[in-house]
Structure 1
């Protein structure tokens, strides 16, 4: 067995692991990166990028069908499913190749392939070929799609976000289980590409929206493009001919069923921790096998072990995974001295059309009675009307003194408005400070300005 010594061992070469390795190396540590494969990061390979490629194809089809209101006659729109999926894979592979090119710049002697497991807090065994002795360890093993129990009898026929993009062409019909951000994005995209989609979820909201006004608006605007079944719990699945028959129960107690060419499980991605033998690492685990860790330092208890990215489930989005990797890698290199940077504001985007965002403090029914909430509708917003996209809602949350603390939005161009809002929250702006910034006319950003003005009017912050 090969013996390898290092200052920091990083398990996982995804977004968080790559950042952790870079941070540890920059801090002067000898850092080893362990990768089980298939590599290329979740984002580039099966997440952010291929899903956006599919969404953009769907947007093109949708826009081509929607030229009538502008007085532009549209011809027949024909979707070539095989061509759509071929483009998705081709560009996806480019993104993955770019990630791998970066990894190839790490010296081969500092990269190990295989599955790592703890023998003790600072010793790792990689398969049966390498023993690594490290001063500290970063766990950045990522996540994998879950398969709800009712689907397990037909698991070989179920698509997940890890396999969807390998389809040669688009199916005639599809059931999507999970109305969270990923399920909602893919359901709408595939529906716009001509697939008959049914979206099922036991919850009562779409896209993870917690503000009831935003959740209701989003469901109305997006749910009209396919069959949306909220409050639906799938109970059984069986193979029939070339498809799958699902039976589900609604919150009302009503039973329903349907047969679909394919079924996509989009009900979450639990962390990849089961192969690590964390008991041997001596860290405390909760009932789900997740280590107890400090969300600011990312240290697991007092051990020289840090956990970052999807592996800790704290904020399963790329920008947070990258930052967590950088914090964990730096702290591992400096151990036992660790730093605890202040957290970034919460920031979640759903790339549907219209888009959905939640920024900063999440909506809370009980606490909201003490908040100041400013609203603005896109229904009469000038630029949105010009674009024929006049639908949606912005809700901005603030303290009674006018300090902005959070927002929830659904509407056109939300990904850009949300970035303005998250900076305002991070910088602790008041509504008055926010309004003392230039807003060009006519822009969608003026919709956000209007919502903040509503806050200012209630907190005495208008000029």
Structure 2
């Protein structure tokens, strides 16, 4: 058994762990990066990149099928070759993963350990069966994994998670997606547009990350027009029948795709997108003095990422705060720096919150969510993309945006919407939020014509009028 000593040990070589290692080294201390699985981040292997590759194929198929209203006719059948679709998804995915692996393997071999880590005590880690690491500080950056409820585990390989989709060699015929969050909506719509018979089943009325009731109701109808989508259902029974899954579910009264029905159907797969859980089960945290929460994650300060008073820091998806790549990278850098400089820790300065669903129309949120704002403290500015000039020109004219402006300061504080080019508009609004601009200052910015960004101006104008009416 080999024993090594280091200033900082980082558990996990993903989107948070890699920046944590680099930050610790930049601070001038020794650091060891520990990884039990294959190199390559969740984003590159089974997250951001392969999902966007599948979505890009779906967008191509959808665009090809919608040319006739422009007077452009594609004569003959549009043929989707599932094997070719998945071959490109996997080929390009492997290329992205290769870049990450190459970068990780560029770290000096002496600073890398292969094996799963567990705590022996507060500052001592066992890595695999070959090495013990004594560390002055530890960064836990082990990420998260899809959660599969017990009722679906009995289905064997017919119950899959998003990771499994990107291992397919061909597209299936029929899929049920359990979960109406970001992953469920993105993959559900993409598979539907690629010719798969898709049913998306939500449980609690969720439509992606949306919390604004009007925007959420609008978005639910948009998605239900494209495929079977029930935002509020109760799955009563599932069973495996050969290579198929038999499912019985009950829809809620008022669902956009139907009301109060008991439905029985058969699917090739059930894609479970019911959330994620922190990867902490194998860390043996019970051997430490750390206080652990109900989710099994050490209780920590979300500003400094420090667990209690100990030199342990929690970064990235494992902490469940904002499971997004750029947030994981920022947290990793902050955790690595604080671990290196412990006990001289400083708070993480977070960027303006931004969240995007790569659907069509896109869904996005910036800044404060509707549900988090104090009633009566803000006004709502609104725009419909249905009659917006550029949206109608492109025949991408479905969408509703709400912007939120503080009544007292007239400062823009957040927005939720569904609409065209949401990913690009989200960046403009996030930059405005981070610069602490008022609605008036934003309206002084240039808006070209005709572009979909003019919708932002319309929403801000309605907010400004509302502010003037209340005497802000």
Render the CA deviation track for 1:224-253: whole Å, top value 9, x for unaligned.
111112211223221113211112233457
Give the secondary-structure state (helix, strand or coil) at the position aligned to 1:144: strand
Does 2:263 align with 1:271?
Answer: no
Between the two proteins, the alignment pairs up a number of residues equal to 462
| 191-200 or 205-214, larger mean C-alpha shift | 205-214
- Output the CA distance in 1 between the equivalents of 2:81 and 2:261: 38
Partner of 2:129: 128
3-state SS in 2 of match to 1:138: strand
- What is the match of residue 104 of structure 2? 103
Summarize the alignment of residues 2-21 of structure 1 with structure 2, pairs less than 5 Å apart: 2-21=2-21
1:392 paired residue number: 399
Question: Are residues 1:355 and 2:362 paired?
Answer: yes
Which of 421, 428, 438 is 1:430 aligned to?
438
How far apart in 2 are the matches of 1:250 and 1:98? 45
CA 366–344 in structure 1, closer or farther in 2 if over 3 Å, else same = closer
Q: Which blocks of at least 5 consecutive residues in structure 1 are unaligned?
A: none
Distance 2:140 2:372 in 1: 36
CA deviation profile, 1:288-331 (whole Å, cap 9, x unmatched): 21211111111011110001111100100111011000110111
In the TM superposition, 1:189-338 aligns within 5 A as: 189-251=190-252, 254-338=261-345
Q: Distance in 2 between matches of 1:225 and 1:393?
A: 17
Counterpart of 2:428 in structure 1 is 420
SS of residue matched to 1:358: strand
- 1:28 equivalenced with 2:28 (yes/no): yes
Partner of 2:57: 57
In 1, Cα distance between equivalents of 2:173 and 2:430: 40
In 2, the alpha carbon distance for the partners of 1:278 and 1:382 equals 57
SS at 2:277's partner residue? coil
- Preserved contact between residue 377 and residue 394 of structure 1 (Cα < 8 Å): yes
Unaligned runs of 5+ in 2: 254-259
TM-score (norm: length of structure 2) = 0.95
- Aligned residue for 1:275, secondary structure, equals helix
| Separation in 1, partners of 2:372, 2:23 | 40
CA shift, 1:120, in A, is 1.5
Name the residue aligned to 1:71: 71
Secondary structure at the residue paired with 2:266? strand
Shift of 1:204: 1.1
What is the CA deviation profile of residues 124-152 of structure 1, one whole-angstrom value per residue up to 9, with x for unaligned ones?
A: 11121100011100000011111122111
The 8 Å contact of residues 58 and 189 in structure 1, kept in 2 or not, is answered as: yes
Contact 2:144–2:279, Cα closer than 8 Å, also in 1: yes
Contact 2:39–2:104 at 8 Å: present in 1 too? no
SS at match of 2:337: helix
1:44 aligns with 2:44: yes
1:197-218 residue CA offsets vs partner (Å, 9 max, x unmatched):
0111112131121111111111
The separation in 2 between residues aligned to 1:39 and 1:143, in whole angstroms, is: 15
